[in-house]
Amino acid sequence: MADNTKKIEKKVEKKVEKKVEKKVDDAWDATRLPDLAGRTAVVTGANSGIGRTAADALARAGAHVVFAVRDLERGRAAAATVNGSTEVRRLDLADLSSVREFADGWQGRPLDLLINNAGVMMLPQQRTADGFEMQFGTNHLGHFALTNLLLPYVTDRVVTLSSGAHRWGNARIRFEDLGFTSGYDPQRAYAQSKLANLLFTLELQRRLAASGSPVRALAAHPGYAATNLQSHAANPVMRGLMKFGNSFLAQDDRAGALPTLYAATQDLPGASYVGPDGLGEMRGGPTLVGRSAAASDAEVARRLWTVSEELTGVSWALGAGKSGASGALGTEGRVAAER
């Protein structure tokens, strides 16, 4: 009886070992990137964190990677650490004139991949150069304008970084007060901006499909990744908690970049959302993940798109006719952003 029990235990152990080995073998990482030779990628915020790690992986796979960064000196320093073909160009997503300057300087070059990675998180109340709440203005409106201005040159896909924060506190798009002019809350403002990223991806994919474009729009989130993004939180208690979390709970930026790389290179349906496969989507390998009901609301996505066009002065660039961008926002546009 004892011998039979031992035999059974050994069989179970072998099965478990095989499952573990298979899971390790199946784990997707940057070594599985396809050959990207001859392809061009723009990565916003590529000077640090997940953006720099993703840019490095894409360059190592053969892509020419454009570091779209606010600080050219830091961007050049980051690009110098990358083993591959790189280029550094200035882009300040909190200033629509900078976004237009970046797009104007693109000069019709084919762009295979646009990764909308840059972002700010839970800042003290601030305004962009155009008068928008900083998190909504940078994380959503800046990327909305950039994407539409570059879209005529994009050949493959647009990947926009969101966050599990899009679920915080029953997050919604506050159309009545996008700028949090009353009762500013850095956490809720951040959640709104991340929800906007998912709604933008949803409506962008709808428009791409309707226009017959082969380009796909996808979204990704890194889980809980240790980057310098959390160090700017308005609340000092929150900064302390996130510092602790970064040290003991978070995964590193290499793991945090995997959902972005997976969304950027794997054959996935448009509007897919990629995140970690671990508990609570905090860490783990990249996989398709779900989103909140608010992030799946097609009607709100269309309304947000319309409002975003009005606020940025940048319109849909594909379809029956191309609508260009207007000049810098005047008082009327800035006031609308605060409603």
**Cα dihedral sign, 222-226-228-230:** positive
Dihedral pair phi/psi, residue 226, rounded to 5°: -80, 105
Whole-number average pLDDT of the chain: 86
Dihedral pair phi/psi, residue 202, rounded to 5°: -60, -50
Residues 139 and 221: beta-carbon distance below 8 Å: no
DSSP E strand boundaries for the chain: 40-44, 64-69, 86-90, 111-116, 154-161, 216-220, 273-276, 286-288
Catalytic positions are 190
pLDDT tens-place string over residues 98-155: 999 999 999 999 999 999 999 999 999 999 999 999 999 999 999 999 999 999 999 9
Core vs surface per residue 233-260: b (16+ CB within 10 A) or e: bbeeeeeeebeeebeeebbebebbbbbb
Q: pTM of the entire structure?
A: 0.83
Which has the minimum average pLDDT: 214-218, 236-240, 319-323?
319-323
Per DSSP, what are the bridge partners of residue 64? 40
**Cα 311 from Cα 303, distance rounded (Å):** 12
| 279 or 97, which is more confident | 97
Residue 200: what residue type?
Answer: F
| 236 or 205, which is more confident | 205
pLDDT tens-place string over residues 14-25: 543 443 344 444
Which helix (DSSP H) or strand (DSSP E) does residue 266 occupy?
none
- Average pLDDT (187-199) is 97
Predicted local confidence at residue 20, as pLDDT: 36
Residue 69: what residue type?
Answer: V
- Average pLDDT (295-305) is 98
**DSSP output for 89-103:** EE--TT-HHHHHHHH
pLDDT tens-place string over residues 33-87: 999 999 999 999 999 999 999 999 999 999 999 999 999 999 999 999 999 999 9
pLDDT tens-place string over residues 305-339: 999 999 999 999 897 333 334 333 333 333 334 33
Q: Which residues contact 152 (CB under 8 A, 6 or more apart)?
A: 317, 318, 322
